[in-house]
Amino acid sequence: MIPVQGFSDKTVFVLGMGRTGLTAARALREGGAHPICWDDGEAGRTRAADEGFEVQDPLKGGVLEQAAALIVSPGIAHLYPTPHAVIAAALRAGVPVDNDIGLFFRSYATRDWDNFDQTPKVIAVTGSNGKSTTSALIHHILEHANRPAQLAGNIGRGVLDLEPAEDGDVVVLELSSYQTDLARALTPDIAVFTNLSPDHLDRHAGMGGYFAAKRRLFAEGGPDRAVIGVDEPEGQFLAMQLSEGPADDRVIRISSGQKLDTAGWSVFVKKGFLSETRKGRQVASIDLRSVAGLPGAHNHQNACAAYAAVRSLGLAPRVIEAAFHSFGGLPHRSQLIAERGGVRFVNDSKATNIDSAAKALQAFKNVRWICGGLQKEGGLDALHPHLGSVRTAYVIGREAEAFALGLPGIDARICTTMAEAVSQAAAEAEAGDTVLLAPAAASFDQYDSFEARGDDFAAQVAKLMD
């Protein structure tokens, strides 16, 4: 655990007693602070009390105004659509509001670092899609190269639950827009921006606010190296803002599908080949077509981002290439579950929005598409140009009929349940087809999480294999 610095003998309120909040409270206590915990749910308050934390409603007794800070879990709205009542009270009282990411960046570096031969580094990854795979891939490459590395953030492990830095350690953080928007300190050594597409717009009051939240990762501390996906205008704009000119190699531009002709440092994939160029000259190339754990253009973009990040640390291209081939991918992200009779079953339950579903569909041919769930704002119109590979759609979810109506011209079967969708898709699939779960919707109408939805898909497929 990383003890939080700067709050010794001070009272700090922690709002939200899930994994993130409890870890923050423990790290604050470890650093000498007096954390007071609160959760809107009784179960959360009980969890805190069971660990010996003081539990008190910050809206009663004027206690919040005396606090040194309020630490907030990422699932709690801090500004849009409306601030949580406790956060609103802190804003009125002028109490600093922060999150575990801000606490991490103010606490990770210690005086012990003066004795290290190699200063620890932090690589932070954000973006709409691919940040989990990119973060996991960076971590995998570092482990393959025998570099001490830790992985945390939005991908699962709380950042304050990491071990204190060792000599030459590299921490890889996946950061969501909720986390970057609120953190009062953001100072990674290498920052990665994968891409941008509409998501979480209610929490950021539209695309402008959403992009601004992502951009804070680069604007607050100024990373030594910025890896920027430039396949959207926002990425191009961000790369321009961060560089002094086309030849400024502090910015590495990356792309999947287009050749980048720049005078600086770039990494791109064209026709399945990853190329690294510097000062207009190619310095390395990797054939990604046979890398089983990174199928499709969207994963090629993830490969570019990870490649650029670890090249910034000095890793050799051949070391990175070997690590690509041993990467198994992440669960629920273009994950090959099984293959039978020439039919592949692929779990991409993480494709919860239109852009990620479109990228999943483009990665395969002859798709038997399992889709549906809790639709997000904007409808399905933006998905229509990417349905050419779909042979049949098998729609799940409580609003399956309404979802199917948003797929004109597609043979759509109303299945409602995962069991029925898998059964029908498997029965109709032919050799060369891919049964693909890429819902283009959230899971919460039927499941607690996209992981639970993906697990159900895998379980239903497993029944077919018996």
pLDDT at position 378, please? 77
pLDDT band of 136, cuts 50, 70, 90: very high
Residue-wise pLDDT tens digits, 171-195 = 999 999 999 999 999 999 999 999 9
Euclidean distance between CA atoms 129 and 149, whole angstroms: 23
Task: Give, in order, the Cα–Cα distances in Å from 42 to each of 16, 45, 284, 307, 386.
Answer: 11, 5, 56, 45, 45
pLDDT band of 296, cuts 50, 70, 90: confident
Contact 358, 373 (CB under 8 A): no
Average pLDDT, stretch 331-356? 91
Residue-wise pLDDT tens digits, 96-131 = 999 999 999 999 999 999 999 999 999 999 999 889
In three-state secondary structure terms, 296 is: helix
pLDDT band of 419, cuts 50, 70, 90: very high
pLDDT band of 437, cuts 50, 70, 90: very high
Is residue 358 within a helix (H) or strand (E), and if so which, with residue range? helix 354-362
pLDDT band of 314, cuts 50, 70, 90: very high
pLDDT at position 188, please? 97
Which among 353, 360, 358, 367 has a CA at the least distance from the CA of 429?
367
pLDDT band of 328, cuts 50, 70, 90: confident
Write the DSSP symbol of residue 16: -
Residue 156 has pLDDT above 80, yes or no: no
Average pLDDT, the chain: 95
- Give the type of residue at 203: R
Average pLDDT, stretch 230-242? 96
Residue 262 has pLDDT above 90, yes or no: no
> Is the sign of the CA dihedral 329, 331, 335, 336 positive or negative?
positive
pLDDT at position 399, please? 92
pLDDT at position 222, please? 86
Residue-wise pLDDT tens digits, 346-403 = 999 999 988 889 989 998 999 999 999 998 877 899 999 999 999 999 999 999 999 9
Residue 237 has pLDDT above 90, yes or no: yes
| 71-80, 150-159, 232-241, range with the lowest pLDDT | 150-159
pLDDT band of 329, cuts 50, 70, 90: confident
Alpha-helical (H) ranges within 189-244 are 201-204, 207-219, 233-242
pLDDT at position 54, please? 97
Euclidean distance between CA atoms 357 and 286, whole angstroms: 26
pLDDT at position 154, please? 87
